[in-house]
Amino acid sequence: MILHLFPLQACMQSTGMSGDVTSRMESITSSENTGETNEIQSFVPLDSDFQFEVAKDEIDALCQSFQSLKVSCENRELILSCNTSEVIKSARDEIKNLINSVEVRTIEFSKVQADFLTSKESKYISDKLFGDLPEGKVILDIPRGFRLYALSTNLLDQAEAVLKNHLLHVSIKIKADEKEIVSSEPWKELLDKLMCKKDIKICFHDNNDDLIVSIVGFTEEVKKAKKECEDFLYQRKTVKEKLFLEDPILIENIDDLLKWFNLGEIPANVQISKATGQTVTLVGPRVEVEKTTFVLQKLKKKNVDILCINKYGATHYFNNQGKTLLDDTQKKFGCRVYLCDTENKAEGIQKADELGAKDRKDSNKKEVRKHASDNKETHKDGTSSSSQKEKNLVETQRPVLQLMLSFGNLENKKAKAMVASLLSTKPDLEAMNVTKGIKNKAGNKFSHLFSAVFGCQSSLQSGQHFPMEITGKSYSLDCDYVIFISCQTWNGPDGSSCKALKKGLSETLEYCQTKNLQSVAMSVIGPGKMLQYPPEAAARIIGEVVQSFVQRVPNTCVKKIELVIPTENESLYYVCRETLLEMNLDDRISLCNEDGVIFHKISFGESSEVKIGNLSLALTYNDITKESTEAIVNSTNFSHWNKNTVAHAIFTAAGQHIIGAAQQGASREKVVMTVAGNLKCKYIMHCNCKQDIANISVLVKEIIIKCESVGLRSVAIPAIGTGECQFNAKTVAHDMIDSISTLSRTRNLTSLTAVRLVTFRPSIYYIFYSELKKLSRPVQDSSWNPLELLTLRLKDPWIPDNDAIKDLPTLQQPLQPPTTKLVIVTDQKAKVNEIKSFLERGFQNEVKYRKEQIEQPLLKTFSLEEIEMLFSVLNDQIEVGMILDRLKNYIFIEGSEKDVVDVTMKVHTNLSAIMTARLEMATKERAGLLVQWGYSDGKTSKPFTINVSQLLEDNYQARKSNVTINLENGEKTLVDLRAMKAVIEATKQKLTVIRRDLEAD
């Protein structure tokens, strides 16, 4: 039967007991069956089953004192079972005290830690973290709000410290340029492996353009996972490392040598610098770069030696029938032999079927051999893919876009799209010269259209582009679209103005691409009074945008971008040209002039020279501190100078003591003369333009007069004021050259014979050059004095004399037989001499030599041009030596038999051409000498220059109709020889053309 007893709480009160634990009603269960024992149970509700778990050892020990007492826990209840109520009553109070002694503490976790713990079981976490605590058991109740249970506050403190030390949350930032790494299969495999671990949790989230990888869990496991991730990213992060291979031959033939010596594959990209020829740059994931470095280090250990053969025809032999000898050598000695020309440019010597196209095509390795100086790539395996490795193909690229510089006005150009700037703070066609020109050319109808688009806006957001379609409408503009870009005034290279202009230009080109516009004409946006961009900055922005566009859209429909520069702004033209040349634009971009002639970089040391009386005036692109004239000029303010100035360069090179000497004389003289210190010259002339361009002429005259007075024969002068003072380079060039020219013509210079104008920037050189050219034009008489014109003709004969070679009895090319270099690469250093002997014997046994001589009685009268024509036969075939003996009138040719026969035939052909040309020139000279061409504007008549007159006479005799010439002021003019009329291209002024017979006059 079942007896229900009074509540445990009442019992506790009746016995004077109190506590936090309240009991359910007790029940005594007994059985009527004979032999069975009555069982009594008492229930105690718990806050958590884990209260019992942490006190279980103590409760079990207590149960040892009460026979037949059983204690269990289910569903947050403590169940006491026994066959006697006395035992239950006695044990209950003690057990209740034990339960009440259990300490509880709620722990706060971050959201990430809480998410991790919630995914785990309380018992697993507790055993993992607190199983080793010696003082007792601690349990973390996860489902009921992260409560810690323990028998003492000390244990709770220890457990909380364990949680703090053994739970860790870390983050790894994956930058935007590394996202390609984490999209790879190896990364995904790594994450799958890590996520299988119970003791960590991994999640991801974006932070702007970056990706954040969060790892949370047990400290040691988190640290291990983080290290694995970071090691993975570190090994696969793209890096650049330079490797010095010592010998250029190893670099130029990397592929061939790796395969020949079976050294292994190189997975990283290899960039070859033309500048050094001995260093490669390895680019790619770090693990690939390290592997490539290991392979190339093995290549570096190979022995490289050179065999030089100083015989005519040796290079030709080894390029042709001698390949068999090279093949035999390579097979016999297991080495590699390369033939170098005189510039040491190596060519791999190999059979046509060996390491050829088939091996390349079948190879699975894809890699880049890129020259850093020109950024040119060539496809080797003919495949393509979207992945990074498969992008690294070698590809021969043709220019796909012409970036053209031209003079003129934008509104007069022809293109599919015309691009100009608008002032963002004042979107008005009258605000800038370029938009004013478009407005005047396009007419009122265009102005109305512009007003309809922009009339309500007093300002625009800079960087926006505004296309206006005018196809098929009468706006007098030869284009389909006019595109305006809103721009703001320059606020520095890192300011918002540059970013806005780049955005506007980039979006404009993208728009032209979407509209399939093949040609774009645009002004050089930025330089000018309104926007105030430095010309170099404006040109660089355009170059960067065009380069980026071509790289994004390699097959763009835009084939021509014409940068239009006002005719009067010659300085801007040269600045743009040289800035763009320095940028080493993509090979798919052809930088050229309006005739399509590709620009080339000026060489350091390039110069031009004119004679003004007895004075030689030379212009050079050079470092003035390297000049060897007797004196150089230093432009300085005597107190301070920036690093990139002429003063800094000269004072630094000359020495500190020169500065003091110059400063001492600055108060007494306009031009202070000191010794040159460590420089090549003897003296330095220091002068100060005082930030006033008007002082340039005065200073130059002072310098020339001082040189003359102290007996100097030569002086080098920089482009004064074009650096830190930022004077207009064209004005400076005119003032300096005009001052020198005037002094030379008006003063009797007996000592000074040479003045060199030294420019250190290519753009300044060309501006000075255009001024210098004006001095080389003949001075034209404004009258038609036949005697004076004929005298001028006789003083300036059409055919040049041969003064340059009259003192040279013998001319030879080449001066010595060309050196043929065979580069041997082997891993057997002891056999190098044996390999050389084998090659030398083979060459001597197979090559036959011959000498030939040709007699030409007029050889001593040949001009330099005619002699160059004879030697030109060696341009295609330099495997022979040629000597011109002008005293004996013989031409000697020496070399291999086949080459000598070929060259001899070509020399005979050129001799015949020279004699024919001499006969024609004599006839032409006689006719041209007595004829003078000129022009009349209706008021006065003037003769053309000698060269132009001769050009017109040649075309007149050839019965040609039209010819384009330049007047003495440089104006391009179209001449109609049938109508005897001419039109100046720029002004459209009409002229009458005159042909006069000087003999008759």
Q: Is the pLDDT of residue 369 over 60?
A: no
Structural domains of the chain sorted by starting position, each given as residue range(s) with its CATH number in brackets: 2-101 (3.30.1360), 103-236 (3.30.1370.10), 401-586 (3.40.220.10), 607-776 (3.40.220.10), 803-921 (3.30.1370), 930-997 (3.30.720.50)
Contacts of 56 (CB under 8 A, 6+ apart): 137
Give the tens place of pLDDT for each residue, 857-875: 888 788 888 888 888 887 6
Q: Going by C-beta distance under 8 Å and a sequence separation of 6 or more, which residues neighbour residue 321?
A: 846
pLDDT at 285 over 70: yes
Q: What percent of the chain has pLDDT over 70?
A: 84
Q: How far apart are CA 411 and CA 478, in angstroms?
A: 8
The answer on pLDDT for 271 being more than 50 is yes
Is residue 347 over pLDDT 70? no
Residue 283, classed as helix, strand or coil, is strand
Task: Read off the pLDDT band of 387 (50, 70, 90).
Answer: very low
Structure confidence at residue 421 as a pLDDT band (50, 70, 90)? very high
Could you tell me the pLDDT band of residue 808, with boundaries at 50, 70 and 90?
A: low
Q: What is the pLDDT of residue 792?
A: 60
Pairing of strands 481-487, 519-523: unpaired
pLDDT at 896 over 50: yes
Q: Which of 686, 719, 691, 690 is nearest to 703 (CA)?
A: 686
For residue 910, what are the contacts with CB-CB under 8 A and spacing of at least 6? 869, 870, 872, 873
Q: What is the pLDDT of residue 529?
A: 86
How many C-beta neighbours within 10 Å does residue 927 have?
Answer: 14
Q: For tokens 């728009």, name the residue.
A: 511
d(CA 555, CA 399): 10
* pLDDT recorded at residue 713: 92
How sure is the predictor about 30, in pLDDT bands with cuts at 50, 70 and 90? Answer: very low
What are the C-alpha distances in Å from 568 to residues 521, 565, 572, 767?
A: 18, 8, 9, 12
CA dist 630 and 632 (Å) reads 7
What pLDDT does 538 receive?
A: 94
Tokens 């037949």 found at: 68
CA–CA separation, 165 and 157 (whole Å): 12
Q: Is 631 exposed, middle or buried (0-12, 13-18, 19+ CB in 10 A)?
A: buried
User: How much is the pLDDT for 726?
Assistant: 83
* DSSP states along 230-282: HHHHHHHSEEEEEEE-S-HHHHHTHHHHHHHTT-----SEEEE-TTTSSEEEE
Residue 805: in which H helix or E strand, if any? Answer: none
Are 177 and 191 in contact, with CB atoms under 8 Å apart?
no
The tens digit of pLDDT for each residue in 538-569 reads 999 999 999 999 989 888 999 999 999 998 88
Cβ neighbours of 355 (radius 10 Å): 15
Please say if the pLDDT value at position 199 is more than 90: no
pLDDT bin (cut points 50, 70, 90) of residue 431 is: confident
Q: In what order do the strands lie in the sheet with 481-487?
A: 465-469, 481-487, 417-423, 519-523, 560-565, 401-407, 589-593
The helix (H) or strand (E) run that includes residue 470 is none
Mean pLDDT of 987-1001: 77
Per-residue model confidence as pLDDT tens digits over 606-664: 888 888 878 889 999 999 988 989 999 998 888 888 887 888 889 888 888 888 888 88
Residue 93, SS3 per DSSP: helix
DSSP letter for each residue of 303-341: EEEEEEE--TTHHHHHHTTTHHHHHHHHHHHT-EEEEE-
Res. 71: pLDDT tops 70: yes
Q: How confident is the model at residue 23 (pLDDT cuts 50, 70, 90)?
A: very low
Lowest average pLDDT, out of 243-247, 308-312, 676-680, 718-722, goes to 243-247
The model's pLDDT over 774-794, given as tens digits with 9 standing for 90+, comes to 765 443 434 556 666 666 655
Query: Whole-angstrom Cα distance, residue 70 to residue 60?
Result: 9
Per-residue model confidence (pLDDT) at position 513: 92
Closest-CA residue to 740 (of 777, 772, 778): 772
Name the average pLDDT for the chain.
80
Q: How far is residue 269's CA from residue 848's CA, in Å, rounded to a whole number?
A: 46
Lowest mean pLDDT among 93-102, 708-717, 724-733, 831-840: 93-102
Question: Using N-to-C axis directions, what is the helix angle for 695-710 and 729-746, rounded to 10°?
Answer: 40
Alpha helices, H only, 384-495: 388-391, 433-442, 444-454
Q: Look at residue 833 in the predicted model and tell me its pLDDT.
A: 93
Tokens at 362, concatenated? 């079948």
- Cα–Cα dist 271/280, whole Å: 6
pLDDT above 90 (res 978): no
Q: Which has more confidence, 276 or 187?
A: 187
pLDDT (mean) for 5-24: 36
pLDDT attached to residue 385:
37
Report the pLDDT value the prediction gives residue 286, as an integer from 0 to 100. Answer: 82
C-alpha pair distances (Å), 267 with each of 150, 193, 291, 618, 711? 59, 26, 7, 53, 67
**Is pLDDT at 7 greater than 60 in this prediction?**
no
- The CA distance from 165 to 163, in Å, is 5
| Residue 802 clears pLDDT 60, i.e. is over it | no
Q: Give φ, ψ of 229 to 5 degrees.
A: -65, -45
Q: Which helix (H) or strand (E) holds 913?
A: helix 897-929
- Predicted local distance difference test score (pLDDT) of residue 33: 42
CA distances 673 to 270, 631, 670, Å, are 54, 9, 10
More confident residue, 379 or 965: 965
The pLDDT of residue 503 is: 93
The rounded distance, in Å, linking the Cα atoms of 440 and 436 is: 6
User: Radius of gyration (Cα) for the chain, nearest Å?
Assistant: 46
pLDDT digits (tens, 9 = 90+) for 931-964: 788 888 877 888 888 888 888 888 887 778 899 9
Give φ, ψ of 439 to 5 degrees. -60, -45
- Residue-level pLDDT at 805: 56
Is 259 a residue whose pLDDT tops 70? Answer: yes
The residues, ordered by sequence, that sit 6+ positions from 992 with a Cβ below 8 Å of its Cβ are: 935, 936, 937, 938, 980, 981, 982
Average pLDDT over residues 970-980: 87
Query: pLDDT grade, residue 174 (50/70/90)?
Result: confident
pLDDT of the residue at 194: 85
* 161's tokens: 């410290």
Q: In DSSP terms, which residues pair with 212 in a beta bridge?
A: 173, 205
Please tell me the predicted confidence (pLDDT) of residue 8. 32
Cα separation, 579 vs 591, whole angstroms: 11
Q: What is the pLDDT of residue 337?
A: 94
pLDDT at 878: 59
The enclosing H or E element of 418 equals strand 417-423
